[in-house]
Structure 1
Amino acid sequence: MEKILIVGATGSTGKRIIEILNNSQSFEPVAMIRKEEQKEIFDDMEVKWVFADLEQDDLSPALKGIDKVIFAAGSGSKTGPDKTTEVDEKGAIKVIDAAKKAKVKKFIMLSAMGADEPSQHEKLEHYLKAKATADKHLKESGLNYTIVRPGGLTDDMGTGRVKISEKLDSLGEIPRDDVAFLLIMSLADPLVKNMSFEAVEGEEPIKSAMIELSQS
């Protein structure tokens, strides 16, 4: 069973990922937390956790024994530039570097639609620039990777159906549930290897959409 470090485990999307992986026969989630009081959440779920702070710590100990990483941390698009830079850019780069040192097999990055052209989205420009810098660092790291760039995240119930492409022709929204499944499906070694793709809600089942994209 592969150990999967979830960075951003206490966030809305991170919690969904943990819940799904916790019922998996192939993957064992390990939650990365930075506050003492967060232990209880994962102890109650019988999920392993590790202490680490994106903004401060040497992250090498958190990667010990880890097979793959899902980076689902984010300051949020409404956060100011300083916090965004610390978490979405510098924090992500620290995890990528630690993952490379630990020789993890695959790194799955939760990015954002528009990260390939931040200047086209004035209100989100600082957020998308931070995401773009982290994405670039991952691509150049030598790690096997998948970068998932969803549209606007909603708390609607997931449908299991999406529209995905390396570049979509229009913006859209997608439930966090479906984003969590996209990130988890990306753990499968042959799927979307060394690819980045955009995702919004759509009509095609997630699994077949990802297989199709992988073969394109």
Structure 2
Amino acid sequence: MKVLVIGANGQVGRNIVKELSASEHEAVAMVRKEEQVDHLKELGAQKVVLADLEKDFSEAFSDVDAVIFAAGSGASTGPDKTLTIDLWGSAKAAQYAEENGVKRFVQLSSMGTNDPDAGGEEMKPYLVAKRAADEILKSTSLDYTIVRPGALSDEDKTENIEVSTSGFTSMEGRSIPRADVASVLVNVLDRPNTYHKTFEVLQGGNSTASELDSL
């Protein structure tokens, strides 16, 4: 599959591109700046498209088979960017996918979205935006999978994860490497058993493949 990676220059996005380049899929990396193009090609992107998530980016959906939405406004921005990127960017991506006949859509979300009120005032805008984006995606005709990782780390990929469709009772002291999150996002692409599923993921447990087989 030709997979459009939205948020390809982000920390998880770059790992997604590398995962795709090592798989049978092709990475179509979407970036906002011309100076990011060469680096994404070096990471393995077969194609790089220039598009701005805060504008019309529908042309990026031409000649792709699937989408991984991994964009995020980042911790250094305010609630305004959280709305336009994490929420509105995701909603537009789902709309463009439907309009272009791209059925497969994998979305990077976050643990804590089940109850944004419990996440504290600082995290609340982010969790509300992610929750709303997830609900919009669920209302579409797309074959979606929503992946909600816990706290992210920069550790090396372990391929050992634990997933839960009902939610973890606690994530205290637990995290998951960004590289493992990227591996999960790529692994679910051609797994029909993950269609129309939402699950949380943390480090630990069995291998990536066996955990995803059980969903």
With structure 2 as the length reference, what TM-score do the two structures score? 0.94
Tell whether the 8 Å contact from 2:87 to 2:130 is kept in structure 1 after alignment.
yes
Structure 1 counterpart SS, 2:193: coil
* Structure 1 unaligned regions, length at least 5: none
Tell whether the 8 Å contact from 2:17 to 2:43 is kept in structure 1 after alignment.
no
With structure 1 as the length reference, what TM-score do the two structures score? 0.93
The percentage of counterpart residues that share the same residue type is 42
Structure 2 counterpart SS, 1:203: strand
Once the two structures are TM-superposed, the CA of residue 170 in structure 1 deviates from its matched residue by 1.1
Partner of 1:142: 141
Q: Match for 1:37: what amino acid?
A: E
Tell whether the 8 Å contact from 1:77 to 1:124 is kept in structure 2 after alignment.
no
Once the two structures are TM-superposed, the CA of residue 186 in structure 1 deviates from its matched residue by 1.1
Partner of 1:11: 10
Q: Show the 5 A alignment for 1:150-189.
A: 150-166=149-165, 167-171=167-171, 172-189=174-191
Structure 2 counterpart SS, 1:31: strand
CA distance in 1, matches of 2:29, 2:190: 19
Tell whether the 8 Å contact from 1:77 to 1:127 is kept in structure 2 after alignment.
no
Q: Show the 5 A alignment for 1:24-103.
A: 24-25=23-24, 27-45=25-43, 47=45, 48-56=47-55, 58-77=56-75, 79-103=77-101
Tell whether the 8 Å contact from 1:145 to 1:195 is kept in structure 2 after alignment.
yes
Q: Please list every run of at least 4 consecutive aligned residues from structure 1 whose deviation after the TM superposition is greater than 4 angstroms.
A: none
Cα deviation per residue 1:84-123 (whole Å; 9 max; x = unaligned)? 1111001111111101111112100000001111011112
